[in-house]
Amino acid sequence: MNKQAQHTPGPWRAWRGSKWAITNGTDEVGTAIHEPDARLIAAAPELLAALGAVRALPGFEQDEHYGKLVLAAIAAAEGTDADN
């Protein structure tokens, strides 16, 4: 589960044009129609990093409920299986 995410490096920002564009300052990494979606997409690299920091906390594996939520979210972002 120590797989390094293979995404465009952040930070990402959302900019409004004819649609919401999400960029890292150089490349467009996505688009959205609605501002809340654009903000969530733009926050993805920081959210993934925060979840990784939580996973690294001592005792993390002991919290069955929140541990599963964190691992599932990381797996969804990385395109992996949370049970492996």
The 10s digit of each residue's pLDDT in 5-29 is 578 888 999 989 889 999 998 989 9
In the 8-state DSSP scheme, what is residue 5? P
Asked whether residue 48 is assigned to any structural domain, the reply reads yes
Q: Domain span at residue 55?
A: 13-78
Q: What is the pLDDT of residue 81?
A: 80
Asked whether residue 4 is assigned to any structural domain, the reply reads no
Residue owning tokens 């920002």: 13
In the 8-state DSSP scheme, what is residue 6? -
Asked whether residue 26 is assigned to any structural domain, the reply reads yes
Cβ pair 11, 26 in contact under 8 A: no
Taking residues 57-62, what's their average pLDDT?
Answer: 87
Q: What is the pLDDT of residue 7?
A: 80
How many domains, the chain? 1
Q: What is the pLDDT of residue 41?
A: 95
Asked whether residue 8 is assigned to any structural domain, the reply reads no
Within its chain, how far is the Cα of 54 from the centroid?
13
Q: What's the Cα-to-Cα distance from 44 to each of 5, 17, 39, 74, 81, rounded to whole Å?
A: 11, 21, 9, 11, 19
